């Protein structure tokens, strides 16, 4: 999956993977590998399959069933389309063989045994006839000439091996001294005879001769700059511009372009002088090539030595013995043959230690460097990048893959890491077209999880094979089991994805989207594969049972190989051995049957905990819903004491075996659970009978701070290789049932106290500064983490959100919750304080929380993080649903619902502030946490610009309260920006009043009250424009209607507003200069525009005042003059009033000025007729507009693209260049008064804004190309 963003950029690819439906879940797979050559004909296979079914296997993996090459290795395919002769007999045709194989697989499918097969896509047998017909299917010396030097080296090695005796070497390499002698002769004498450097360097003699001939034929005096270069410069220039680069493709294939070299040579009448210079240049060219060649030789010699040492001296090597034709010094890298009189050499396949699987080593110099560990019986196939590169090969292997997919339920991709990804994609897709639910597993050794992920994602691999026999110690064994098992006991992930834990009343918007997190690569965890040595070889035979048990308890697909259950002492040789399997019955198979069936039964136990105590491995599997589970204890040596906790001890029986005393499974890091364990079975090494072994352990009782516990004492009789398995029936499940019963006993949606959005604000939100102001309490603090951002439930839920997504159970918050239940008490106590402080009548909800939290406190502590999260989240979801219902937003989309919840977060009662100096009325915070209390809480501009918080969310009463509160403090024809609960409001904002009038208009148009609101009466805080204290008897004595308020505002602006702020000086604003306290606003009756402000104050929302020693008192954006959004808001108000007049609602006709009466219609039309002319900046036709071309920003000699076809930010600023700055304020104007603008001009402007100002999180406030732009403004 990928997408293209709005700018046309392609995203990275992402992948969704859907597990195949093959009759069993992928984690239930219990697989057994079998090698067909050791099974006989198909007529005998049934008995092996019956044995597999009998012992709990539900899937069989077959090594390749194709005709084998001359080496007899199953993985060296003579012909991928030919089934092996041994399947049904030589006399049978291929179609009959396919039919017989298909019939057998279908029969097993009906029995519940599914079958997958190896597919070999990388190579073909060296004697394959098909390769003789199509030699270009491999890498040969013609289609891959870079291999010629590797072939020459290969020939040299073979010839040296055959002629060693001529150097006094016997061919018997018995020790490293003899090995060093052989290697020394090869390097110092034999290899030099082959002059392999000739594949890489320039032939100096030939080059000199060719240049001499050129000079003699075109000798002329030249005066070129190139000939004056220094020697080093000439060498560099020739290397970069004058070479035919065919290194390695043939002897003397690296050549110089004569004409380029000719221009470099300085003219001299004596050709010998010129040739001497050329010789110096050629030697300079060759020197680094010789140096690299010498380093390559060192690599070659080291790789040869290492390989010979392994093959002839190493204890774990094949010990090939004396060098002979059959066992050469080193096996050839090439398969040689002759066809139609032509000789071919095709490179063989192999692998590179720590090689990059994303690089095709056949296309590098790896063969020359002898880095490839070769498979001499397999020719590497040459696919190219896409089918058209080698169509015959792609189609041949597609047919092979389709045939296998038609019969088998899945593929095991052999050597997947060496398979080009496009090839594997093509062939897997071909298989999935005929079998949609093809189960694909892979043998993949990339060396990194990141590269594993590339293959898994792009190929749709369902499971990667992981080998249980490989870990080098118990710790690594546990690490891998833990990693493959996925989620730890107590995980958030399994809880939030399980329907059992999903609340019925969860908050979901109309357009809710379910987010799916990434998951770990799924594994097929095999205790042993056919490529591995047996436990007796790799470890000890005593490890057989513990290893099998650990694998069985791992939450993944699991598997084994034929011979493991049969207790083979050594790995069978795939190539050399032909003896058929013998069906044997071992006591170990009884253990295998039990463990395989238990693995399937544990599929719902999706949480795992793995712990190690020295040589003791303990694994717990648990169902997060029922808390039922299983405990494995596998011992290697010693006497160990394991402590398990319990609250209630009881006798129990289970599993058909006499039960032990109830014991508890220990959880992560010593965490205790309250559960009953019943001994299912005990196993002893190589005597895995289902017996009761009292001598394995004892149980003692004790108590600690968590309560009563039981201690399991493992005795010395629990010997290396022994295993204990318990079934766990948890009493916690009953507690969880009680917990959810208390949660759902009462429908909190019906609680009377929750019908108040203010109460919901208290319960869910409240910033720390609001909390401290209201009830003298801080937000919740956690060591090594800090304080929650909110004091209500959202504080905890926001803090733990990422932890839940990442399932980070080791986070300090999770550690804190496991350590105690203090958070639950905190939530109860804060609500009790609010209840008493503000008389909120929250008793019903507090009692409900106490009831639920009391049950939550009884949950075992290692499960607390999960269940505290689940319960608080579920309660919070119900509270969110209640808020949505109170605002009547149930059918709105998620965005509107989120606005509603944001309004709940920002609106509430806070002590010492609000909308009224004498009453506790919920007020809107301008922002949390900095603008939340006292005079900094409620801002006129911020309230009225936030249409989405009240009017879009149906919170009409809150909108009404805020409008009337600000109307009540009208003074000088303005409303304050800082309300300060109407105590000491500050009137330093020019735009707040216009946003207020827009809000009144929107309220009348949207609320049920409609235009009746215009005639609502309120009392004024100030009886005139002078300041008086709120306790003054004259306060709130003058009554006014909303419509009178509107008229007063318009009259004041029309006639002019001029005053100095009350209490002007540093006590009011420490950063403002004296001039900044002067407020002047007037109307230009030539245009109808309202002007205001000066260069020392900032009366619009862009109101950052300089506060450093350099810029103190200098606003960053004065925006004095006629600001575009203010003119648009004025126009919107006039348009609305004109409409009201037509309906005979607005009682005033206009405004009486000193010299004339201006109707609202005249004012409206005056602005309409002048706006475009004065505000638009065109790219041409400047005469039609009021433009100063010198102020339009330029790039070079041209106008900057972000400075034309835009609207001015202001008109007639005190600094005129600022009018022409690109800012986003015109977008407000577009929204409130679209009739002012020409559509085509708006479209041009918006395109420029999108390209220049739009960012990932919002708008830039200035064009970044503007000289005044500062991306980081440090005040």
Do residues 31 and 53 make contact, with C-beta atoms less than 8 angstroms apart? no
Q: How far is the CA of 18 from the CAs of 438, 461, 462, 486, 522, in angstroms?
A: 11, 10, 8, 17, 12
Provide the CA 171 distance to its chain's centre, in angstroms. Answer: 58
The helix/strand/coil state of 1196 is coil
The DSSP symbol for 1070 reads T
**Phi/psi of residue 347, nearest 5 degrees:** -75, 140
Q: Catalytic residue at 920?
A: no
Token digits of residue 7? 């700018």
Single out the catalytic residue among 356, 429, 531, 1084. Answer: 531
Identify the H or E element spanning 1084: strand 1078-1084
Q: How far apart are CA 910 and CA 907, in angstroms?
A: 9
| Residue 525: strand pairing partners | 466, 558
417 has catalytic annotation? yes
Q: Which two tokens stand for residue 878?
A: 């119900």
Strand partners, 619: 610, 632
The 8-class DSSP code of residue 114 comes to: E
Measured CA to CA, the distance from residue 685 to residue 626 in angstroms comes to 33
Residue whose tokens read 């590339």: 454
Bridge partners of 1199? Answer: 1194
Cα gap 1→18, rounded to integer Å: 14
Residue with tokens 């380093």: 295
Query: Which among 123, 106, 96, 94 is positioned nearest to 23, based on CA atoms?
Result: 106
Matching residue, tokens 């600094």 = 1215
Question: Which of 27, 51, 154, 414 does the annotation list as catalytic?
Answer: 414
Question: What is the CB neighbour count within 10 angstroms for residue 240?
Answer: 8
The set of residues, in sequence order, having a beta carbon less than 8 Å from that of 1239 and lying 6+ positions away, is none
Tokens of 1218: 């600022």
Q: Which of 1043, 1016, 1057, 1015 is nearest to 1136 (CA)?
A: 1043
Nearest Cα to Cα of residue 190 among 158, 216, 222:
158
Residues 969, 923 contacting (CB under 8 angstroms): no
Residue 897: φ, ψ to 5°: -60, -40
Known catalytic residue at 930: no
**CB proximity list for 76: less than 8 A, separation 6 or greater:** 68, 69, 70, 123, 124, 125, 126, 375, 377, 378
Residue from 417, 482, 635, 672 carrying the catalytic annotation: 417
Place of tokens 């004492």: 713
Q: What does the alpha-carbon distance between residue 110 and residue 756 come to, in Å, rounded to a whole number?
A: 63
CA distance 1222 to 1265: 10
Query: If residue 967 lies in a helix (H) or strand (E), which one and from where to where?
Result: helix 956-967
Cis omega before residue 929 (within 30°)?
A: yes
Quick one: which of 203, 198, 224, 199 has its CA closest to 279? 203
Q: In terms of DSSP H, where are the helices of 1033-1108?
A: 1042-1055
Structure token pair of residue 1004: 């009348």
Asked if 827 and 759 touch (Cβ cutoff 8 Å), the reply is: no
Q: CA–CA separation, 261 vs 282, rounded Å?
A: 10
CA 857 to chain centre: 35
Nearest 10 degrees: CA dihedral of 23, 26, 32, 38? 70
Q: Does residue 629 contact residue 620 with C-beta atoms inside 8 Å?
A: yes
Tokens of 1111: 């810029």
- Residues recognised as catalytic: 414, 417, 531
């Amino acid at each position: 999956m990928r997408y293209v963003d709005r700018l046309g950029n392609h995203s990275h690819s992402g992948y969704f993977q859907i597990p195949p439906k093959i009759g069993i879940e992928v984690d239930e797979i219990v697989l057994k590998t079998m090698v067909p050559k050791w099974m006989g004909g198909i007529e005998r296979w049934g008995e092996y399959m019956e044995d597999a079914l009998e012992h709990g296997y539900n899937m069989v993996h077959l090594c390749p069933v194709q005709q084998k090459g001359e080496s007899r290795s199953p993985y060296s395919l003579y012909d991928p389309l030919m089934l092996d002769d041994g399947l049904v007999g030589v006399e049978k045709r291929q179609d009959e063989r396919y039919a017989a194989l298909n019939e057998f697989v279908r029969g097993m499918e009906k029995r519940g045994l599914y079958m997958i097969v190896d597919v070999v896509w990388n190579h073909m047998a060296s004697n394959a006839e098909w390769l003789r017909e199509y030699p270009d299917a491999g890498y040969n010396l013609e289609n891959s000439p870079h291999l010629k030097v590797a072939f020459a080296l290969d020939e040299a090695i073979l010839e040296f091996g055959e002629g060693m005796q001529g150097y006094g070497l016997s061919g018997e390499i018995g020790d490293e001294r003899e090995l060093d002698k052989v290697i020394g002769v090869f390097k110092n004498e034999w290899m030099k005879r082959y002059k392999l450097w000739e594949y890489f360097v320039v032939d100096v003699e030939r080059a000199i001769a060719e240049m001499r001939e050129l000079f003699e034929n075109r000798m002329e005096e030249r005066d070129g700059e190139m000939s004056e270069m220094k020697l080093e410069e000439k060498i560099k220039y020739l290397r970069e511009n004058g070479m035919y680069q065919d290194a390695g493709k043939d002897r003397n294939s690296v050549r110089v372009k004569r004409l380029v070299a000719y221009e470099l040579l300085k003219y001299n009448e004596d050709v010998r002088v010129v040739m001497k210079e050329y010789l110096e240049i050629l030697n300079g060219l060759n020197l680094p090539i010789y140096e690299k060649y010498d380093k390559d030789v060192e690599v070659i010699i080291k790789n040869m030595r290492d390989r010979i040492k392994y093959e002839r001296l190493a204890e774990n090597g094949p010990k090939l013995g004396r060098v002979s034709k059959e066992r050469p010094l080193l096996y050839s890298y090439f398969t040689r043959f002759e066809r139609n009189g032509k000789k071919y050499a095709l490179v063989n396949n192999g692998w590179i230690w720590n090689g990059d699987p994303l690089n095709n080593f056949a296309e590098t110099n790896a063969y020359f460097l002898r880095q490839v560990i070769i498979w001499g019986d397999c020719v590497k196939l040459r696919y190219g990048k896409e089918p058209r590169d080698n169509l015959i090969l792609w189609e041949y292997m597609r047919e092979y893959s389709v045939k296998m997919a038609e019969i088998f339920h899945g593929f095991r991709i052999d050597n997947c890491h060496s398979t080009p990804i496009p090839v594997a994609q093509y062939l897997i897709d071909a298989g999935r077209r005929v079998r949609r639910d093809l189960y694909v597993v892979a043998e993949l050794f990339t060396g990194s999880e990141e590269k594993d992920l590339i293959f898994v994602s792009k190929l749709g691999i369902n499971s990667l094979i992981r080998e249980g026999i490989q870990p080098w110690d118990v710790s690594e064994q546990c690490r891998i089991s833990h990693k493959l098992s996925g989620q730890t006991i107590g995980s958030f992930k399994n809880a939030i994805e399980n329907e059992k834990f999903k609340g019925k009343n969860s908050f979901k918007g109309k357009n809710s989207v379910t987010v799916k997190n990434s998951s770990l690569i799924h594994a097929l965890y095999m205790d042993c594969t056919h490529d591995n040595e047996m436990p007796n070889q790799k470890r000890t035979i005593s490890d057989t049972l513990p290893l099998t048990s650990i694998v069985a308890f791992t939450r993944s697909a699991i598997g084994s190989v034929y011979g493991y259950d049969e207790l083979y002492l050594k790995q069978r040789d795939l190539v050399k051995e032909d003896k058929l399997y013998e069906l044997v019955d071992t006591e170990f198979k009884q253990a295998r049957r039990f463990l395989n069936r238990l693995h399937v039964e544990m599929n719902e136990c999706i949480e795992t905990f793995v712990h190690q105590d020295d040589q003791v491995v303990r694994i717990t599997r648990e169902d997060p819903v029922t808390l039922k589970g299983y405990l494995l204890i596998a011992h290697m040596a010693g006497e160990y004491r394991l402590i398990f906790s319990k609250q209630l001890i009881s006798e129990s029986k289970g599993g058909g075996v006499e039960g032990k005393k109830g014991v508890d499974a220990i959880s992560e890091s010593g965490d205790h659970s309250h559960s009953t364990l019943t001994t299912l079975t005990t196993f002893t090494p190589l005597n895995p009978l289902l017996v009761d072994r009292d001598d394995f352990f004892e149980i003692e009782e004790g108590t600690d701070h968590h309560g009563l516990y039981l201690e399991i004492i493992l005795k010395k009789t629990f010997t290396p290789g022994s295993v204990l398995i318990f079934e766990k029936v948890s009493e916690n499940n009953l507690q969880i049932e009680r917990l959810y019963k208390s949660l759902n006993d009462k429908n909190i949606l019906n609680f009377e106290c929750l019908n108040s959005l203010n109460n919901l604000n208290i319960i869910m939100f409240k910033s720390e500064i609001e909390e401290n102001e209201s009830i003298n309490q801080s937000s919740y603090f956690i060591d090594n983490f800090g304080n929650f951002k909110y004091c209500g439930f959202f504080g905890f839920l926001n803090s733990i959100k990422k932890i839940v997504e990442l399932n980070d159970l080791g986070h300090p918050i999770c550690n804190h919750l496991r350590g105690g239940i203090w958070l639950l008490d905190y939530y109860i106590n804060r609500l009790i304080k609010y209840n008493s402080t503000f008389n909120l009548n929250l008793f019903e909800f507090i009692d409900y929380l106490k009831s639920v939290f009391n049950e939550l406190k009884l949950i075992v502590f290692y499960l607390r993080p999960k269940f505290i999260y689940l319960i608080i989240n579920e309660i919070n979801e119900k509270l969110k649903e209640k808020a949505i219902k109170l605002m009547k937003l149930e059918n709105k989309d998620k965005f509107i619902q989120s606005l509603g919840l944001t309004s709940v977060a920002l609106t509430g009662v806070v002590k010492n502030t609000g909308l009224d100096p004498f009453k506790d009325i919920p007020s809107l915070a301008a922002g949390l946490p900095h603008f939340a209390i006292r005079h900094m809480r409620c801002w006129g501009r911020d309230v009225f610009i936030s249409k989405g918080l009240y009017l879009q969310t149906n919170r009409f009463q809150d909108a009404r309260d805020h409008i009337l509160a600000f109307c009540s403090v009208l003074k000088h024809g303005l409303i304050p920006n800082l309300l300060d609960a109407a105590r000491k409001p500050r009137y330093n904002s020019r735009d707040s009043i216009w946003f207020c009038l827009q809000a009144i208009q929107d309220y009348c148009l949207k609320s049920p009250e409609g235009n009746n609101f215009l005639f609502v009466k309120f009392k004024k805080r100030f009886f005139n424009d002078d300041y008086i204290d709120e306790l003054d008897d004259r306060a709130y004595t003058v009554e006014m209607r909303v419509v009178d308020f509107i008229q007063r505002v318009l009259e004041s602006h029309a006639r002019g507003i001029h005053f100095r702020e009350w209490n002007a000086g540093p006590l009011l604003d420490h950063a403002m200069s004296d001039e900044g306290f002067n407020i002047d606003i007037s109307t230009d009756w030539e245009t109808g525009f309202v002007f205001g402000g000066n260069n020392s104050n900032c009366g619009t929302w862009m109101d950052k005042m300089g506060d450093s020693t350099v810029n103190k008192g200098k606003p960053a954006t004065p925006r004095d003059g006629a600001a575009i959004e203010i003119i648009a808001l004025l126009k919107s108000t006039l348009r609305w009033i004109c409409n009201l007049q037509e309906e005979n609602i607005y009682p005033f006709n206009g405004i009486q000025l000193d010299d004339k009466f201006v109707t609202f219609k005249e004012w409206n039309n005056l602005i309409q007729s002048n706006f475009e002319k004065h505000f638009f900046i065109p790219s041409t036709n400047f005469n039609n507009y009021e433009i100063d071309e010198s102020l339009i920003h330029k790039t070079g000699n041209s106008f900057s693209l972000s400075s034309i076809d835009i609207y001015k930010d202001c008109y007639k600023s005190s600094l005129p260049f600022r009018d022409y700055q690109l800012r986003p304020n015109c977008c407000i104007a577009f929204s409130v008064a679209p009739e002012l603008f020409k559509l085509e001009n708006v479209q041009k402007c918006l395109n420029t804004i999108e390209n220049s100002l739009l960012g990932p999180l919002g708008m830039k406030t200035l064009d970044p190309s503007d000289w005044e732009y500062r991306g980081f403004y440090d005040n």
